[in-house]
């Protein structure tokens, strides 16, 4: 079992680091950033849709998606999006943005009356879709990562993208098993 730890700069040493340009500062003050981060948002993504193992997600998050590679890419290749983390089907962990920075993963969102969830959340993408079960290795990595994030930041809840953008987003989807994550503060579907 690989243990993850978040350093003082918001990076996981054992994660593959691929820098996304799609991020900015969380706050414009001298606030303690570690106290700002209070939410974990779980997403799912596959590019092309329902195809796994390729570089489409990485290309999207690094603004390198080629619209000629797949018809679906013509709809999204100009989107400027990212996430802090991606967990591949085999459990491999990739980090795109420091936890101390604001990744662009939540979009228009609201959690318990607070809008703009990117401001106070860490986004974790799972390689998957609304139509396929997630892999054991993904849950294993996810649980380790959630544990590391909770050791570093005052996390109040772990939610799905669908919980902060209901009606607009469905991920992580019906095949995500909330009972497989070790989160005593999970607030899904409250």
Query: What residues have CB less than 8 Å from 75, skipping those under 6 apart?
Result: none
Give catalytic residues, as residue numbers. 125
- Sign of dihedral through CA atoms 45, 121, 94, 146? negative
Q: CB 80: neighbour CB atoms within 10 A?
A: 12
| Nearest Cα to Cα of residue 101 among 119, 125, 86, 116 | 119
Sorted by sequence, the CB contacts under 8 Å of residue 148 that are 6+ apart come out as 3, 4, 5, 6, 12
- What six digits make up the tokens of 38? 């209070």
């Amino acid at each position: 079992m690989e243990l993850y730890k978040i350093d003082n700069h918001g990076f996981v040493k054992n994660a593959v680091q691929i820098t996304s340009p799609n991020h900015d500062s969380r706050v414009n003050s001298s606030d303690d950033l570690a106290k700002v981060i209070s939410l974990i948002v779980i997403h799912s993504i596959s590019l092309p849709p329902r195809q796994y193992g390729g570089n489409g997600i990485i290309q999207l998050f690094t603004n390198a998606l080629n619209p000629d590679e797949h018809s679906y890419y013509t709809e999204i290749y100009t989107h400027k999006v990212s996430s802090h983390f991606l967990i591949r089907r085999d459990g491999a962990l990739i980090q795109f943005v420091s936890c101390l920075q604001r990744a662009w993963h939540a979009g228009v969102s609201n959690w318990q009356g607070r809008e703009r969830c990117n401001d106070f959340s860490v986004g974790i993408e799972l390689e998957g879709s609304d139509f396929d079960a997630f892999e054991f290795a993904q849950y294993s990595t996810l649980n380790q990562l959630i544990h590391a994030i909770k050791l570093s930041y005052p996390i109040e809840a772990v939610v799905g993208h669908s919980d902060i953008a209901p009606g607009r987003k469905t991920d992580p989807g019906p095949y995500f098993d909330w009972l497989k994550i070790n989160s005593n503060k999970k607030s899904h579907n409250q």
